[in-house]
């Protein structure tokens, strides 16, 4: 039995919105022909069409939102209120789901922007906050999902969608800021280590391109070990450190320079 057709509208087809569209189109849940992207820039929409002509594109947020089952807001945080005010009258709250990818915009704010006062009381659609990181472009994002006023079925589908773009984790909203520091800013922190290690490799005698290949492959190997073995980092560190060896000397020198405390302080500063 085939899965029912799911129509998705992505408002804001820039870096993250475009990556979500391309990633979903390569998955098994949503077909490219059922994805509509909107943007203020026709050039951005044209590039998406070049990537896959089956994408729907529009400059009209309201019309695009009306056709969707899931409306993904991939605009800058300061644009969320104006976009929601623009599309609010086009949304069927009993049927459609609103997904915000805007960091820092809380459910309280989203509810304030979207709540309708009707004859039967206050009305609000199912809401999700989704925070991916830039690795979503490579379908390797660590993505955090929080739900508000949503059913288990709706929540399960959102998790399935974003698991096709990496790994999605359902968390309480209070952890969204910490998740952003750990996984979104964390991409930059990991890359900064990689850059430093490449510079060290050049100082040790490798050409820059060689050093980058070595470091990137080494970091990937470390990650693969943890994922494959389901082990703790200390277990894997113990396997490569021997008494009096060069690895423990290197680790101790890094700790003398404040490596671990610097990482923790950086994460706290990003929260």
The CATH label, of 3.30.70.1150, 1.10.3730.10, 1.20.140.10, 1.10.620.20, for the domain at 180-270 is 1.10.3730.10
Find out whether 186 and 132 touch, Cβ atoms under 8 Å: no
> Can you give the pLDDT of all 271 residues of the chain as single tens digits?
456 799 999 999 999 999 999 999 999 999 999 999 999 999 999 999 999 999 999 999 999 999 999 999 999 999 999 999 999 999 999 999 999 999 999 999 999 999 876 555 678 999 999 999 999 999 999 999 999 999 999 999 999 999 999 999 999 999 999 999 999 999 999 999 999 999 999 999 999 999 999 999 999 999 999 999 999 999 999 999 999 999 999 999 999 999 999 999 999 999 8
Distance in angstroms (rounded) separating the CA atoms of residues 201 and 214: 9
Distance in angstroms (rounded) separating the CA atoms of residues 27 and 21: 10
Find out whether 142 and 135 touch, Cβ atoms under 8 Å: yes
Structure tokens at 26: 């390569």
DSSP β-bridge partners for residue 116: 123
Domain 8-171 classification at class level? alpha beta
Distance in angstroms (rounded) separating the CA atoms of residues 49 and 121: 42
Where do the domains of the chain lie? 8-171, 180-270
Sign of CA dihedral 116, 147, 6, 13: positive
């Amino acid at each position: 039995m085939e899965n029912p057709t799911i129509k998705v509208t992505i408002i804001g087809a820039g870096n993250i919105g475009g990556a979500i569209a391309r990633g979903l189109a390569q998955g098994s849940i949503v077909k490219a022909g059922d994805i509509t992207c909107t943007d203020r820039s026709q050039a951005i929409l044209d590039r998406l069409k070049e990537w896959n002509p089956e994408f729907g594109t529009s400059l009209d947020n309201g019309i695009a939102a009306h056709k969707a089952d899931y409306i993904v807001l991939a605009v800058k945080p300061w644009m969320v209120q104006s976009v929601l005010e623009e599309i609010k009258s086009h949304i069927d709250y009993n049927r459609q789901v609103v997904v915000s990818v805007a960091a820092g915009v809380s459910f309280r704010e989203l509810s304030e922007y979207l709540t309708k006062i009707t004859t039967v009381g206050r009305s609000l659609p199912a809401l999700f906050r989704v925070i991916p990181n830039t690795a979503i472009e490579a379908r390797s994002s660590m993505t955090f999902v929080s739900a508000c006023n949503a059913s288990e079925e709706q929540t399960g589908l959102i998790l399935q969608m974003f698991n096709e773009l990496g790994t999605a984790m359902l968390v309480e909203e209070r952890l969204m800021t910490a998740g952003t520091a750990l996984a979104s800013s964390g991409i930059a922190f990991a890359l900064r280590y990689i850059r430093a290690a490449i510079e060290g490799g050049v100082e040790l005698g490798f050409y820059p391109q060689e050093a980058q290949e070595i470091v990137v492959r080494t970091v990937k190997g470390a990650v693969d070990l943890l994922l494959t073995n389901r082990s703790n980092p200390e277990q894997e560190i113990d396997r490569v450190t021997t008494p009096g060896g060069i690895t423990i000397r290197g680790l101790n020198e890094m700790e003398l320079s404040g490596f671990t405390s610097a990482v923790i302080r950086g994460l706290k500063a990003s929260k």
